[in-house]
Each structure stands twice: as structure tokens, then as C-alpha cells.
């Protein structure tokens, strides 16, 4: 028995050691952060997961992506007695519909939810608790979209699936007790990217009802500038480290470009030709970021010479499906009412601030929720129990539900 225990502990130690060897970025959490210790623990747990995924792939047990997907799916919640839940397909795309069992005198609002995960991870199951929460708390019909993932289904299939399901739902909303004029699309992180892109794709559709609103929860919105104040201030802030967002984003686009501290310089301007830099500077620039968001530190980036080779490799990052912030004014001016949630300790904070300004400059009504102690992923964790929830995530959920109830 002692021999087997020794072998087991040796194997366990090997996997733990190798996991941290392959994934051990240091977190930089400000001392004023009220739940600092808890976030450190969560950070190292996430790093262990990423590292273990690499180890398992190298020894041939499971692919990195498959393992991380399984971990993110987690343990499904128990049956919900307040909701009718059923699995369907909209235009061959898997969806799960959540409807309240309580009676209502009229039609409900409808919410299409596009999950995060950089187009590589996430699923209906991973966001089960989130969608149940919104259905219960806002008395809405929620459609969770199980769009197909990369790399098996290359970009932009994820956007195409979400657009197709949105159009299908808009045309059939009344079959689910939904008022077609009260349809809202919502997403977090890369799901927020898809939400923004779908809203833009629908602005000129005369054959469909208009979206009531869009909800963007700490969205990624541009691939032009990875050196904005929020990227500098939060480069080591869990869970979305600056190096991690670049490596995962390139993997999503199926671009083979090593992302190390050396090659990161390629994303400080080398990939942007001068004509695009001049065109987009009025929309994407640190000069537009309000001064209060630079107080934690910001150093204007050094100008790097343009590289045709890098531009050719990363050209898809300028596509408005990947970078909705780069859409033309004629599109932005037609977008629906918008709710934007940003987090102070998130590399993507400034993407949300810049999009907020563009929308407001065109007269679009924007409800902005800024979580002073928020970090990337905090809203998702808020529905996962007290062990994983942070105060900022609870605050974010409350603000989203309040907005939904007004729609």
C-alpha cells in the first residue's frame, strides 16, 4: 500500500511541478484590493489549470483545448424548479432556452446570450448558472447560444452562428412568448465582441425588428492598440494577463506567431500600417481615455517601425467582426441602446471606455457600469457560489438585472 501511495504522490508531484513550469506568470494585484488574498489563490489555480493542460497535451493524454473546456464546464447545477429548460437548434446551432414557470399577462422580453472564452472555450453548460440567473431575476426568456468553437470551426464561424441564431429568434420570438420589439443581445468578454458585431450586422436589416438593446460585459473590441493605459496598468492582473490575451487571441484566429515578452513588441504598432493608424487614431487612442484612468500609471508607447510581414500575418485583427470598435460611423450611429460593463483591473477596460465614447458621440444612449474593484471574469464567478464569487461580480450582476428590468 505504501509503495502505491508513494508512486501516486510522485506522479502527482510531477504533474504539479510541470504545470507550474509551463504556466507561472506572476500576478500584480494592488495592495488596496479588498479581496487580494482570495484573488491570488484563484490566480494560481487558473495558472495550474493552464499549465496542466499543456502537460497533458505533451504526454498525449488530452489536448490543451479539450482539457480547458472540460474544466470550464465544471459541475452542472441541480434542477431548477422555477424554470422550464429545453434544448433546441436554431439554424443547426445548439441553443438552450430558459423560461419562467410563473404566469404572465403579456409577452416577455427575450435575451440571447453569447458566452465568453476567446472563441476557443465556453459552452452552454459553462454558462448554465448565468443564464438561469438572468431568466429568474429579470423574468425573461433567455436563449443561450452554443456556437461552434475554434480551432475545429475556424473564425469567423462563431460570429456567423450567433448572427444566424439571432435572426432566427427575431423571426420566431412570439413562438416562445417573447415580444419581438424587446429582444436584447448580451455577451461577456469575447461574447461581448460577438454581441457588438451582431448588433452592427443587423443595423441595415429592414426585414427584421430592431434590437431593443445590447449588453457588453468587459468586451474585447479592438486589435489595434495593445498598449492602452489599461493594458499597461493591468498586464499582470488576473485572470486575463496581457500576454495571455494575445496568445489566446492569435490561437483563435489560427495565427502562428510566438507571443513572448520579446515578440510582444510586435503589438506596439508594428502590425498597423500608417494609413490605418491615421484613420483609426480618432477612435482608438490613449488621448481619448479620461485622465482619471491614467492615474495608476501610464507611459506613452514608443513608436515602432511598421512590418509588412507582421501585418500580413495578423491582418484579420482589423476585421470589424474581431474589432467592432473599428466600424464606420454610419454603422455606429444606428446601434441600439447599450449597457457597457467595465472593470478597473482589466486589460480590456479601455476598450469599453472607447466604445462608450463613440456611441455617445453619435447620440446612442449608454448605461455604463464601472466596477472599481472588478477584474476580468468577475461576473461569471458571481453565480458560482460563495467560494468563487467576489463582491464586484455581485455588484455587476445587480446592475445588469436592473438594466434588463427597464427594457
Of 212, 209, 203, 221, the residue nearest 330 (C-alpha):
203
Choose the catalytic residue: 43, 115, 271, 376.
376
Residue 189 known to be catalytic: yes
- Give dist(CA 388, CA 50) in Å, integer: 18
C-alpha cell at 353: 471606455
| Strands 93-100 and 141-146, bridge-based pairing | antiparallel
Count of C-beta atoms within a 10 Å radius of residue 388: 17
Give the 3-state secondary structure of residue 307.
coil
**Does a cis peptide bond (omega within 30 degrees of 0) precede residue 300?**
no
In the residue annotation, 100 being an active-site residue is answered as no
Residues 6+ apart with CB under 8 A from 281: none
Residue 29 burial (CB count, 10 A): 18
Among the options 346, 350, 351, 392, which is catalytic?
346
Cell numbers for 166: 439571432
Among 144, 189, 190, 230, the active-site one is: 189
In this structure, are residues 184 and 211 in contact, taking their beta carbons and an 8 Å threshold? yes
d(CA 65, CA 384): 22
Long-range CB pairs of 302-311 (<8 Å, 24+ gap) are 302/268, 303/269, 304/265, 304/268, 304/269, 304/270, 305/270, 306/269, 306/270, 306/272, 306/273, 306/274, 307/266, 307/270, 307/271, 310/257, 310/266, 310/270, 310/271, 311/270, 311/271, 311/272, 311/273
Residue 227 falls in the annotated catalytic set = no
Active-site positions read 189, 346, 376
Amino acid at each position: 500500500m505504501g509503495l502505491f501511495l508513494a508512486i501516486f504522490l510522485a506522479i502527482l508531484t510531477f504533474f504539479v511541478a510541470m504545470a507550474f513550469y509551463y504556466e507561472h506568470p506572476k500576478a500584480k494585484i494592488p495592495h488596496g484590493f479588498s479581496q487580494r488574498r482570495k484573488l491570488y489563490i484563484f490566480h494560481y489555480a487558473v495558472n495550474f489549470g493552464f499549465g496542466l493542460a499543456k502537460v497533458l497535451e505533451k504526454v498525449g493524454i488530452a489536448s490543451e483545448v479539450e482539457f480547458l473546456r472540460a474544466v470550464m464546464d465544471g459541475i452542472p447545477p441541480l434542477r431548477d424548479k422555477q424554470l422550464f429548460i429545453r434544448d433546441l437548434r436554431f439554424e443547426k446551432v445548439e441553443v438552450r432556452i430558459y423560461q419562467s414557470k410563473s404566469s404572465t399577462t403579456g409577452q416577455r422580453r427575450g435575451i440571447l446570450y453569447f458566452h465568453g472564452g476567446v472563441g476557443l472555450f465556453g459552452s452552454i453548460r459553462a454558462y448554465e448558472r448565468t443564464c438561469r440567473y438572468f431568466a429568474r431575476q429579470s423574468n425573461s426568456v433567455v436563449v443561450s447560444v452554443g456556437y461552434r468553437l475554434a480551432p475545429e470551426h475556424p473564425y469567423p464561424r462563431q460570429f456567423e452562428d450567433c448572427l444566424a441564431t439571432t435572426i432566427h429568434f427575431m423571426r420566431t420570438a412570439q413562438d416562445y412568448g417573447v415580444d419581438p420589439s424587446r429582444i436584447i443581445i448580451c455577451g461577456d468578454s469575447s461574447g461581448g465582441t460577438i454581441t457588438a458585431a451582431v448588433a452592427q450586422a443587423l443595423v441595415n436589416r429592414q426585414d427584421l425588428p430592431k434590437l431593443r438593446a445590447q449588453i457588453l460585459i468587459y468586451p474585447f473590441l479592438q486589435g489595434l492598440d495593445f498598449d492602452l493605459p489599461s493594458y499597461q496598468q493591468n498586464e499582470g492582473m488576473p485572470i486575463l494577463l496581457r500576454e495571455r490575451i494575445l496568445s489566446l487571441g492569435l490561437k483563435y484566429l489560427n495565427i502562428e506567431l510566438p507571443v513572448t515578452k520579446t515578440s510582444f513588441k510586435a503589438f506596439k504598432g508594428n502590425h498597423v500600417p500608417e494609413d490605418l493608424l491615421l484613420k483609426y487614431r480618432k477612435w482608438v487612442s490613449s488621448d481619448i481615455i479620461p485622465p482619471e484612468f491614467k492615474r495608476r500609471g501610464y507611459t506613452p508607447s514608443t513608436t515602432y517601425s511598421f512590418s509588412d510581414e507582421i501585418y500580413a500575418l495578423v491582418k484579420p485583427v482589423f476585421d470589424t467582426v474581431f474589432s467592432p470598435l473599428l466600424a464606420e460611423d454610419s454603422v455606429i450611429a444606428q446601434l441600439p441602446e447599450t449597457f457597457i460593463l467595465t472593470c478597473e483591473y482589466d486589460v480590456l477596460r479601455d476598450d469599453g471606455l472607447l466604445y462608450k465614447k463613440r456611441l455617445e458621440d453619435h447620440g446612442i444612449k449608454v448605461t455604463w457600469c464601472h466596477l472599481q474593484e472588478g477584474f476580468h471574469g468577475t461576473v461569471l464567478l458571481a453565480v458560482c457560489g460563495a467560494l468563487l464569487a467576489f463582491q464586484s461580480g455581485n455588484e455587476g450582476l445587480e446592475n445588469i438585472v436592473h438594466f434588463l428590468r427597464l427594457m
